[in-house]
Amino acid sequence: MPQEPETEWKRQGENEMKDFRQLKVWQKAHKLVLALYQITASFPRAESYGLTAQIRRAAASIPSNLAEGCGSGGDAELARFCCIARGSASELEYQLLLSRDLKLIQEDDYEKLEPRITEIKRMLTVFVQKLTAES
């Protein structure tokens, strides 16, 4: 069962800026980005502008969109940015699968990362449902 993303939002007004750092989903996404930067550092130099850049961009897009959504106007906008973040997580999910199949990442690294992405996607889905139910 997915975790409740946050209860903080109920206490804040519709137009108040929200602190993205308090979102558990943002915290998990940020830690995932840090892990992926370390893992992709060992990718071949030939992949610097290819898969390495794509993985890093997709991964960083998840917490970035959450941060942008928290600074935007209200829950509807935040929900929209959460959907964009979820799309980036799906893109990242495929890029890691491709990296595994190309033998750029170890199977055990893939097995550790894939469930983290799935958890983030589930948390984003629940959060969007919560935000849209309240608006």
Average pLDDT over residues 16-40: 93
Q: Please report, for the domain that includes residue 48, its CATH number.
A: 1.20.1440.60
The answer on pLDDT for 13 being more than 60 is no
| Among candidate residues 105, 90, 107, the one with its CA nearest the CA of residue 37 | 105
pLDDT digits (tens, 9 = 90+) for 29-72: 999 999 999 999 999 999 888 999 999 999 999 999 999 999 98
Owning domain of residue 52 = 20-134
Domain count, the chain: 1
Instruction: Give a yes or no: residue 44 inside a domain.
Output: yes
Dist. CA 95–CA 50, nearest whole Å:
11
Instruction: Give pLDDT tens digits for 64-116.
Output: 999 999 998 789 999 999 999 999 999 999 999 999 999 999 999 999 999 99
Whole-prediction pTM value?
0.88
- CA-to-CA distance for 43 and 123, rounded, in angstroms? 29
